[in-house]
Amino acid sequence: MEERPISDISYEQYLREEKLMGSRCTHCNALYVPPRPICVECRCGDMAWEEMSGKGKLRAFTCIAIGPSFMRAEGYDRNNPYCSGVVELDEGARVDARIEGVDAKNPESIKIGTPLRVKFLHRPEDGPSRTYLAFKPS
Ligand SMILES: [Zn+2]
């Protein structure tokens, strides 16, 4: 794998390529997703890219009825909320992501601990797109 600088820009480039990447501290082994260039545990700057399996479990979530404009543009509103969550990856890092394939209108139907698999959302489909990190039940 080519070496890219450890930055948000590189992370988003990888997302566009459908790779979920983190950075691992070569000194104390701490793992960060999204990647950090400096380890907050030991302040070491010796970080290495690591590709995540894309599997994890739901640790926390919230259902959002009034979101940012790009979510409203996708048709999410008070009558059609979406779910945002914290996913604990199998590798141990925790990452914020959209949670798809769950019933955001019935939050009580969504269970903490649900096994999830990564899904890359390329939006908008026309024009210069960004890729958003999402997960869905596996
Ligand atoms: Zn470290």
Read off the pTM: 0.91
- The CA 96 to ligand 1 mean position distance, Å, reads 21
| H-type alpha helices, 7-68 | 8-16
- The CA 123 to ligand 1 mean position distance, Å, reads 34
Tokens representing residue 90 in the block = 């199998």
Give the CB-side neighbour count of residue 59, counting CA atoms within 13 A: 13
For residues 49 and 21, the answer to whether their CB atoms sit within 8 Å is yes
pLDDT at 22 over 90: yes
Supply the DSSP symbol for 104. Answer: T
Structure confidence by residue, pLDDT tens digits, 100-123:
999 999 999 999 999 999 999 988
Mean pLDDT in residue range 10-32: 96
For residues 82 and 121, the answer to whether their CB atoms sit within 8 Å is no
- The CA 15 to ligand 1 mean position distance, Å, reads 24
Amino acid present at 114: T
- The CA 70 to ligand 1 mean position distance, Å, reads 36
- The CA 31 to ligand 1 mean position distance, Å, reads 8
pLDDT at 71 over 90: no
